[in-house]
Structure 1
Amino acid sequence: MIRPSSRPAPEPARHRMLRAVRQAPHVLAAELGTPTEPGTPLFGSVRNAWLRWLPYAVAFAFAVSLLPTTVTVLSHDYGMSGGLAGALATAQTAPLLLAVTRPLQAWWVIFTADVVCALALTGADGVADRSWPWPPMVIVGYLALMLALSLRERGRTLIAVWLTTGVAGVLSEAITPDRINSTWVLLFVLTGVVLLTGATLRERGDAQRKLIEQETISEAERARRTLLEERTRIARELHDVVAHHMSVITVQADSAPYRISGIPREAAEEFGSIAATARESLAEMRRLLGVLRSEEAERHGGPEKTPQPGIGMLPKLVEGTVRAGVPVELSLSEDRAPLAPAVDLSAYRIVQEALANVVRHAPGARTRVSVTTAADGSRLTVLVVNSPPPAPSVPSAPLETNGTGHGLIGMRERVRLVGGSLDTGPLPDGGFRVAAQLPLSPPPAPAASLSPKDSDSL
């Protein structure tokens, strides 16, 4: 048994077309009857003040030029009375100033004035052999209004305006005077062309603006990701420094009962608790390092196992840079005091990043590296200055490069870590300068050496 289908029978195409025709007036009324909110004027978002005032100047020029022309043509050529011609001309041209911010409201006023003018011209003495229902000056003002309208309103509103203009022209055929030059078809076609052109320009501008916004967002995201990667890298490096101190605490706490004779039982238990806490902290730091480890470190088989570098390794770094083709002169303070591990590591990384940028962006440029300590021992000055590259034909890229995780971002993070300051910028001769001031804190006191008695007890 075949059950009848529960789906309704498809509506014939003729019925759908008739329903669309019946609904068209309601759609047009809805689109044209909803006034637009006054928004940003045309070119209102442009930074140049002259360009922001350009739409007002153009609208003022059209209004000032069309107003006397319309009055003269309507009164002298078409034979309309002077008072009526002046009123209609004002209604047809003055709202052009409103079109800069409220184009749809301006269209209502101008379109109504144009229709009233066409009706008034049917009984004028000079309408024969002239343009009707839209005189030439009406066409010019209307097209200028269409351009402003297309740059502000949505597509459905533009279609409604265009169809309304065509309907008014078709209806004018019923009252067409004798021996006139009909212009409604011309205005209908030109209106469609201007609306389409303006809408296309607006869509293109919107697309470019959205593209710029997306590029700005992407650039900000890249900078943020680079900053986070650099901070993670610094945290991984500082892990070794902190782990070293924690290991020293563990060893000293574990060996205290053996190195110090006659220690009370309570003190021995306290040392044991300290050692246990230090070992637990080391285990937690290893887990933290696993979280901070980058994908690149994972691909290479785990974290680096080499000691963290310091200022003492700068001669080796400079030697490698010289082999890369960059003549480098290194100057180190002779009476350099012991540095805190964070300051020592930060100074090395700043020099490393600066020399790497010289190799990439100013190959062959003479470079001077200076690491000095202030006379009062309060700060460490790191200075890297390079001259212009010897081959000017090779374009020099900016010092900062996005996506590398180093460069100026890394330097700023290193300096911020120790509470210092960083000054970078181009030199008048075309070179570049990197200067960092790193405050020096008193280095931790070295562990006390074991006495002969303690050594014998071990």
Structure 2
Amino acid sequence: MSTSSPSPEPPRAGLPAARHALRAFATALTTPTRPGDPLLGNAARPWLRWLPYVVALAFTVSLLPTAIVVLSNDYGMNGGLAGALGVAQTVPLLLAVTRPLQTWWVIFAADLATALALTMSAPLPGPPYPWPAPTVVGLLALMVALGLRERRRTLVAVWLVTGAAGILFELFRSGDGDGTWVLMFVLSGVVLLVAGALRERGDARRELAEQATISEAERARRTLLEERTRIARELHDVVAHHMSVITVQADSAPYRLQGLPPEAAEEFGTIASTARESLAEMRRLLGVLRSEESERHGGPEKTPQPGLDQLSRLVEGTVRAGVPVKSALSRALGELPPAVDLSAYRIVQEALANVVRHAPGARTRVSVTPDRTGLTVLVVNGPPPRSAAPLETTGTGHGLVGMRERVRLLGGTLDTGPLPDGGYRVAARLPLAEPPTEKDPTPA
């Protein structure tokens, strides 16, 4: 006769779940939301920010004497005990503006002590039990602060604990109560529900406003990227196309045109070389304008930026364009900061380009002189010959604006303007050290 072994008992899955629920319940009652942050502290109007303090003070001042009188006269409690319990029930309301959950713990403990004292000594049936009228009013005022601050699970936990305490005291004095705990349970639930709904509505409106701000910023960023892409496309389709045509024509001119003198062939080669350099600069500019797109394909083309070491080539190209330029580049330049080196080159490049466009043939002097604190860049041209007509009679002014921006970013100074003899002067002072950071920079 075989005996069957007893089957193992199934694991008690309910115990871990109950333990987890109790832990979550305790966490909800002990973890406040944004402690120390006053109610309506982010309101735009000052009187709204002060309103919670005024309301809390009004409830405290009105409920403190009322609670003491009710406990001593209606319930026959000792004057000293009634005073202590009245203070414990009302004065902490002043803290409910910034720490409502901690205030609830203090006031609810005082309410429990009051109900326990009434259970032991109050002549019942008679006055309301277990919550006197001042206790109900004070707790409901505190529930408003809780609902405007705490999470939903915390509000549910507070409501259940309040109802459980009323049921417990009702069982102690069965038949003596008048249903005050039911009124308290219902009213506290309604107040917590309404205040919590108002808080959630305010949170939803703030989140919508934040999303609208983010969407607006993203829309502006997308518009900027689209504009940059459009500019890059125009540069590529128009300027780069014409520069490529110029390069091809200049390279092929000595082969297409028979009998060109050597000087003309060399000039065409110079034009082709200058056009190729311009195309390289254009390529770098397109890489910057299309940085968002090019980063996904390895980033824009990275080539060394020009500097003062290429200034002689820039002067030679200007001389070949018909402008007699005399340059004075100090040999004591040494190692310059990259930003200063590039900015000095660009300033000279823009100044010489302006001479070619507006004063062709004018004698020009370029000097770059360093000292201990900075770099001085000077480009001065005289009046153009009377027989030379300017290539451009008007300008957009973008070149001077660009020079000012470069100088301002480095913390330097720029002086430009016409000379009495009809020439023009561009003088820039670029500091070699980084400009000091201002605490409150003024927008340009």
TM band (smaller chain): 0.5 to 0.7
- Contact map agreement 2:33 2:151 (CA 8 A) in 1: no
2:219 corresponds to 1:247: no
CA shift digits 1:103-143 (9 cap, x unpaired): 11001000000000111122445554110110111111101
The Cα shift of 1:198 comes to: 1.9
CA distance in 2, matches of 1:256, 1:440: 42
- Alignment partner, residue 65 of structure 1: 62
Which consecutive unaligned segments of at least 5 residues does structure 1 have?
A: 1-7, 293-338, 341-376, 381-414, 421-438, 442-458
Give the CA deviation at 1:31: 2.9
Q: Which residue of 2 aligns with 1:41?
A: 38
CA distance in 1, matches of 2:190, 2:250: 88
Q: 1:168 maps to which residue?
A: 165
Task: Give the alignment partner of residue 193 of structure 2, picking from 192, 196, 216.
Answer: 196
Q: Match for residue 263 of structure 1?
A: 262
Within the alignment, does 1:224 sit opposite 2:221 as a pair?
yes
Fraction of identical pairs, as percent = 59
CA distance in 1 between counterparts of 2:145 and 2:35 reads 13
**Match for residue 143 of structure 2?**
146
Residue number among 89, 92, 99 corresponding to 2:89 in the alignment? 92
Contact 2:90 2:107 in 1 (8 A): yes
2:52 maps to amino acid: P
Do the aligned residues in 1 keep the contact of 2:243 with 2:279 (CA within 8 Å)?
A: no
| Residue 119 (str. 1) matches residue 116 (str. 2) | yes
What's the counterpart of residue 108 of structure 1? 105
CA distance in 2, matches of 1:263, 1:24: 96
Q: Is the 8 A contact 1:254 1:272 kept in 2?
A: no
Amino acid at match of 1:96: L
Long gaps (5+) in structure 2:
1-7, 291-353, 356-392, 403-415, 419-444
Secondary structure at the aligned position of 1:138 is classed as helix
> Does the 8 A contact of 1:122 with 1:176 survive in 2?
yes
Deviations, residues 256-278 of structure 1 (Å, cap 9, x unaligned): 685995427xx957954863784
Q: How many residues were matched structurally?
A: 296
Partner of 1:347 in structure 2?
Answer: none
Name the structure, 1 or 2, with higher relative contact order (CA <8 Å, separation 6+).
1
Provide the rounded CA distance (Å) in 1 between the counterparts of 2:240 and 2:14: 79
Report if the CA contact (8 A) 1:40-1:101 is conserved: yes
2:77 counterpart SS class: coil
* CA deviations over 1:190-248 (Å, ceiling 9, x no partner): 11222222222222222221111111111111111112212222333344245435534
Give the direction of change, closer, same or farther, for the CA distance of 1:246–1:166 in structure 2 (3 Å limit). Answer: same
Q: How far is the alpha carbon of 1:92 from its aligned partner? A: 0.9
Task: Answer yes or no: is the 8 Å Cα contact 1:44–1:52 preserved in 2.
Answer: yes
Matched AA of 1:78: Y
TM-score (norm 1): 0.54
Q: Which amino acid aligns with 2:208?
A: L
* Whole-angstrom CA distance in 1 between matches of 2:91 and 2:259: 101
- SS for the counterpart of 1:42 is coil
Distance 1:10 1:54 in 2: 58
User: Partners of 1:276 and 1:42 in 2: how far apart?
Assistant: 71
Give the equivalent residue in structure 2 for 1:187.
184
Match runs of 1:24-423 below 5 Å:
25-34=22-31, 38-124=35-121, 127-176=124-173, 179-239=176-236, 240-241=238-239, 243-245=241-243, 247-248=245-246, 250-252=248-250, 254-255=252-253, 258=257, 261-263=260-262, 268=265, 271-272=268-269, 275=272, 278=275, 419=401
- Structure 1 residues 140 and 191: alpha-carbon distance in aligned structure 2, compared to 1, 3 A threshold: same
CA RMSD of aligned residues (A): 4.2
The SS at the match of 1:131 is: coil
Q: Give the structure-2-normalised TM-score.
A: 0.56
Q: What amino acid does structure 2 have at the position aligned with 1:56?
A: Y
1:68 Cα deviation from its structure 2 partner: 1.4
Name the SS of the counterpart of 2:262 in structure 1. Answer: coil
CA-CA distance at 1:102 after TM superposition: 1.0
Counterpart-to-counterpart distance in 2, 1:77 and 1:119: 16
In structure 2, C-alpha distance between the alignment counterparts of 1:64 and 1:144, rounded to whole Å: 13
